[in-house]
Structure 1
Amino acid sequence: MSVEPSDHSWFRNFHGGFLLEGYTLTLVRGLSPQTFLDRLSADLQGDVAGFDAFVTRDRDFQDDQADWGEYMLVGATLVPGKDADWVLALEINGGIELQTDAISHATAGTRAVSHFRSPNAMSLFSWWEDGELRTRFEGPLHRDGSTPDELVDLMHQVGFDFEDGGCSVENYIALAEELTGVRVTPDVLENSTYSIGIVEIPAEEWKGVVIDITDAHGTRTHVELPNPTHEQH
């Protein structure tokens, strides 16, 4: 029996919906938290007990940054899956999976899934195998990666809307559970001990803007506008 998205309706009310303001959750099979952080080249910062302590540490850390986003704080804890233990990594807002190459190295020889939501309600789901991005998508209709269609059956099973292209954070969490066997619960997030690391987000030169819009009729407009000041080679 497939996981039901409604199994994860708790997420919307967790700490008053705090994580809906921006988070990244990543699950990586078979690594210890310390090994995962080492693979990210993280600067280790010790452990904190519980979600509140992690949020406080993250808030203090971000307040000390001159420019938000130059570094990200990640907390990693061990959780049981169906056939193995997994690392659950948590970021408030996030950026490591999207803005660095570290996740490719971190997933060498193993599987990882990650889902992300930004403060402006952009969301993404990513599936990695042995350092390779297999599938990434925001909504179910437009998927990227080396095997963009491999998860379609599972996506149908956990309630993704292939008619309107809609999805929810509950769909993401249910799909992650199908791929990992890990059930993320309020207790897991609330009471875990998180090993903390700081990961540098390298600055990237702005090369252009991508406009990607799907209208109410399902028509997609995808335009890439280069930065006119970017040197062409």
Structure 2
Amino acid sequence: MNSVTADDSAWIRTSPFFRHATDVGYTLTLIRGWTPDEVLRAAGAEPRGRGEGTDGLIDAENAHRDATDDLWDASFIAGAFSAAGEDGDWTLVLGYDGGLGIGDACVEALSAGGRVVVHSTNGGKPIDLFQWYEDGALRTVFEWASHRDGDTPDALLPLLREVGFPLTPEGEHDDNAPDVDGKAAVLALAERLTGIRLTEALLGEATYALGLVPDSPPGCGTN
């Protein structure tokens, strides 16, 4: 049984890569049953070759920004790679996108018959979101673990408490429980649902399939 907790993700607070991700805003999407190229095509992304590690992904995003005159353009470079997890291979999609991601409608479609887990930060404020999709439905979403929404907002409550969120058995904030690093707890929760441990080495050394996700994605090409 996977017993990972927030303590296992403490590396994020000393990681230059993760600091950059939270400063500029990021989305990390984990999708079961689709290849990286299939996910990028579904998101309407224009192929942009390959990037080595997060440095290659950052370089590609910076080059795209340098070539974009419109400050309001929400297009971004997404990087995708495959990793073995629970019940088969998963595709991990990372974008320094200000927390936009590849679009809720597309993520929902990609979860049909499977599972998708997303966590993000929009940078600045920040707004930190966690989303769990199962078989085409948004099962649980939250910014604060004590304020959950979705079709089954309490389905993850036992896991939330196990990874370290300070919650009562009823799912309310527990003032008597120890404080927790919320982002580290989210990474632990993602691992519990996917079987994939997110580490600096995994993200930093992967070869990413790169794609330019458009400002206004044309739906989701999963058919």
Q: TM-score, normalised by structure 1?
A: 0.80
- CA deviation vs aligned residue, 1:114-167 (integer Å, no higher than 9, x gap): 001121221000001122111100011111111111011100000012225975
Q: How many residues align?
A: 202
Matches within 5 A, 1:160-199: 160-162=165-167, 163-164=174-175, 168-199=182-213
> CA offset at residue 201 of structure 1?
3.5
Deviating more after overlay: 66-75 vs 104-113 = 66-75
- CA deviation vs aligned residue, 1:143-201 (integer Å, no higher than 9, x gap): 11111110111000000122259751101100000000001111111110001112224
Among 49, 67, 79, the alignment partner of 2:52 is 49
Structure 1: gaps spanning 5 or more residues: 204-233
Matches within 5 A, 1:52-71: 52-65=55-68, 66-71=70-75
> CA offset at residue 37 of structure 1?
1.0
Inter-partner Cα distance in structure 1 for 2:201 and 2:36: 18
Q: Using CA pairs below 8 Å that are at least 6 residues apart, which structure has the higher relative contact order? A: 2
Inter-partner Cα distance in structure 1 for 2:13 and 2:126: 13
- 2:91 aligns with 87
- 1:208 aligns with none
Are 1:143 and 2:110 counterparts?
no
- 1:132 aligns with 137
Among all aligned residue pairs of Structure 1 and Structure 2, give the percentage whose two residues are the same amino acid.
36
More strand by share: 1
Are 1:2 and 2:6 counterparts?
no
Structure 2: gaps spanning 5 or more residues: 168-173, 218-223
Inter-partner Cα distance in structure 1 for 2:182 and 2:40: 29
* Secondary structure, counterpart of 1:3 in structure 2: coil
* Secondary structure, counterpart of 2:56 in structure 1: helix
Inter-partner Cα distance in structure 1 for 2:30 and 2:158: 21
> CA offset at residue 31 of structure 1?
1.3
Code of the aligned partner of 2:211? G
Inter-partner Cα distance in structure 1 for 2:62 and 2:193: 31
Inter-partner Cα distance in structure 1 for 2:139 and 2:215: 23
Inter-partner Cα distance in structure 2 for 1:134 and 1:105: 13
Matches within 5 A, 1:103-114: 103-114=107-118
- 1:37 aligns with 40
Contact map agreement 2:57 2:77 (CA 8 A) in 1: no
Inter-partner Cα distance in structure 2 for 1:77 and 1:129: 21
Q: TM-score, normalised by structure 2?
A: 0.84
